Chain A
Amino acid sequence: MKQIAIAALAARHALHARGEALARAVFYLAILLILSRLWHALGAPSSYVWYVALTEWVVLAMPLLSLDIEDDIRRGDIAYRIARPVSYLWTKVAEGFGSGLVRLFLIGGAGGAAAWILTGTPPPRGVLLSLPLATLSFFLLVLWQAAIGLMAFWIGDTQPLFWIWQKLFFFLGGLLFPLEVYPEWLQRAAQFTPFAPLLHGWARLAFAPDPAVAARTALLLLGWGVALVAFLSWLYRRALAVLDVNGG
């Protein structure tokens, strides 16, 4: 498939963009330092720091695909990009996923070492179980970003939409604090949103490795993934119709 070759090429590019990976890694370490101090002040077990190390890892490796797509639409570059014999949308998704995977690898090592040093404990066994789910979740995040980027066809500036999506994702996904910190009604409500499985679903395995929880989360992620792919395809078709009418 062409998209695999495109993802591989984007991954090679990302390997050379060491400055960007370094900047993200430094920010990741700062967040880990702060949150480890917070959990330490509360006397929480080290698994809380490992939880945050996992959630922040995926978030900080995320490509800014929505901005990239918005730029293409604003500048009109999309008009000649869609003329290529490969889908613009899935090319962008493949690029985002390829470059993001490299960043996951690069900053993951730094974060893992930092969490180990900060907690003084090795990664809990559940962390290993959560790694494949983290990668799947990362792919879904790339799809979300592509969907937000495509909204530029209708709203022009997607930044405000991105802020709200990002904060809902942080909040209902349990980025900074596990969902167990929330009142029970909110924990239950969060499970009905696409955000909870994206982070908390698999990062909670840091507290206790449970294959049943891992399997349930994998199914949920796959279900949301299928829904997102269908939504993206529909959105892209509508966007192309807008482009046909209004021009690039």
Chain B
Amino acid sequence: MRYLGALLLTNLKASVALRGAFWARAVFMALNNVIMLVLWLLFFRHYGDVRGWRAVDTVTIYAVAASAFGIAVVLGHGVNDLARRIHEGGLDAFLTQPKDVLLQCVASKSEASGWGDLFSGVVLFAVAGFLAPATLPICLVTAVSGAAIFLSWNVMFHSLAFWLGDTTSVSRQAWHFLILFSLYPSTIFGGWLKLLLFTALPAGFIGYLPVDLLHRFSWGTLLAVLGAAAAYVALAALVFRLGLRRYQSGSRFA
């Protein structure tokens, strides 16, 4: 944990070093989220609700998703280079270190715009009325578990590079898919599509279930959210470990 903390601090210092770029990315990303949310608020002002899904639910889903996404890219933006590193033999530098390879690679970069996401997420939690002592721990749990699922999902797709070659563009697409499906009212999905969102495409565990948990707390839902995050983290670690056995060095130190 101490190693991880030091790594994160170094990344943070690196991204804050370019002060202008850091603030521009963070502030404009927060503004970006605000514009999209205003769009949805106007939609709900016109239509009222979508099968019982109201404006406050969308504010909540944006709060959870923005916080989760912010944490994921601030702490683990290195995951976006994983497929390329695997394909080009770029894991060598990490393999020589006495620490976990996946952890080092994922935490090797930080994205400044994530702070804008994180900030807008916190503000939206407050707007939705959840920054109260009773619900604050749930906000934290949903944001952290969402971040874990975002990262695990990305690790799994990038790890396919061990078998398929450079899967960067497919992984980016999968990442966009997960964000896309996490932000829409859950009430519009039913049948096989809903099943998909709680299995192969875990958007249901990032957006819908956390919203439900914040509005109607139950231990069962909390366990489902935490269990899903733990399962996806374990699955991602397993896929990466299996793939690592096939890894071929880029001979960078030869």
Interfacial chain A residues near B25, Cβ < 8 Å: 157, 159-160
Contact A156 B32 (CB under 8 A): no
Interfacial chain A residues near B223, Cβ < 8 Å: none
Residue B99 at the chain A interface, CB threshold 8 Å = no
The residue on B at minimum CB distance from A19 is B169
Tell me the complex Cα distance, A181–B41, Å: 11
The residue on B at minimum CB distance from A163 is B32
Contact A161 B28 (CB under 8 A): yes
Contact B36 A38 (CB under 8 A): no
Residue B180 at the chain A interface, CB threshold 8 Å = yes
Contact B181 A34 (CB under 8 A): yes
Interfacial chain B residues near A170, Cβ < 8 Å: 35-36, 39
Main secondary structure of the interface of A (DSSP, over half): helix
Given contacts A41-B187, A160-B24, A161-B28, contact A34 B42 (CB under 8 A): no
Tell me the complex Cα distance, A33–B50, Å: 16
Contact A181 B43 (CB under 8 A): yes
Given contacts A34-B180, A34-B188, A41-B51, contact A163 B42 (CB under 8 A): no
Interfacial chain B residues near A34, Cβ < 8 Å: 180-181, 184, 188
Contact B50 A38 (CB under 8 A): yes
Tell me the complex Cα distance, A154–B38, Å: 30
Residue A110 at the chain B interface, CB threshold 8 Å = no
Given contacts A23-B173, A27-B173, A27-B177, contact A164 B42 (CB under 8 A): no
Residue B215 at the chain A interface, CB threshold 8 Å = no
Contact A183 B173 (CB under 8 A): no
Interfacial chain A residues near B21, Cβ < 8 Å: 156-157
Tell me the complex Cα distance, A136–B228, Å: 47
Residue B31 at the chain A interface, CB threshold 8 Å = yes
Please provide the 4 A-B residue pairs with the shortest distance between their CB atoms, ordered closest to farther.
A160-B28, A167-B35, A37-B188, A160-B24
19 contacts between A and B (CB under 8 A): A19-B169, A23-B173, A27-B176, A27-B180, A34-B180, A157-B21, A160-B28, A163-B28, A163-B29, A163-B31, A164-B31, A167-B31, A167-B35, A170-B35, A171-B38, A177-B43, A181-B46, A182-B42, A186-B42
**A residues whose Cβ falls under 8 Å from a Cβ of B:** 19-20, 23, 26-27, 30-31, 33-34, 37-38, 40-42, 155-157, 159-161, 163-164, 167-168, 170-171, 176-177, 181-183, 186
**B residues whose Cβ falls under 8 Å from a Cβ of A:** 21, 24-25, 27-29, 31-32, 35-36, 38-39, 42-43, 45-47, 50-51, 113, 169-170, 173, 176-177, 180-181, 184-185, 187-189, 193
